[in-house]
Amino acid sequence: MLLGVYVFVNGHLTPGGGFQGGAIIASSMLLLLLSDPLKHFSHTLISTIESFSGIAYVTLGLLGLFLAGGFLDSRIMPNGVLGELMSAGTIPLIYSLIGLKVGAEFSSMLTSLSETRDR
């Protein structure tokens, strides 16, 4: 999971990004399910993370639309110094929100598939 978080937080500096980091997080959930098939994850927590990240993504997009002139415009935050973690305006936040959304959605699908076997 830590590798997935690293990939989507540093996606604007290195190859990777939100979708790739979310897929890595979901892969770690799959490995947890493979190591313990009877393990159950909280659907409430997963859906809360997914909902929060989706709402925050749209909110960030609307802030860019109203404050900077375009949906998801990264100029609502300062650019910073090239090569630092917060050096691309809102792009690291966008990647992080996408990573959380993708990771939660894929994890939700995996847990749903693992629980259909029990019924």
Tens of each residue's pLDDT in the chain, 119 residues: 999 989 988 888 888 788 999 999 999 999 998 898 888 888 899 999 999 999 999 999 999 999 988 998 888 888 878 777 777 788 888 888 999 999 999 999 988 888 775 55
At 15, the amino acid letter reads P
Which pLDDT does position 117 carry in this prediction?
Answer: 56
Count other C-beta atoms under 10 Å from residue 47's C-beta.
13
Structure tokens at 38: 């009877």
Which pLDDT does position 105 carry in this prediction?
Answer: 93
The CA distance from 18 to 99, in Å, is: 4
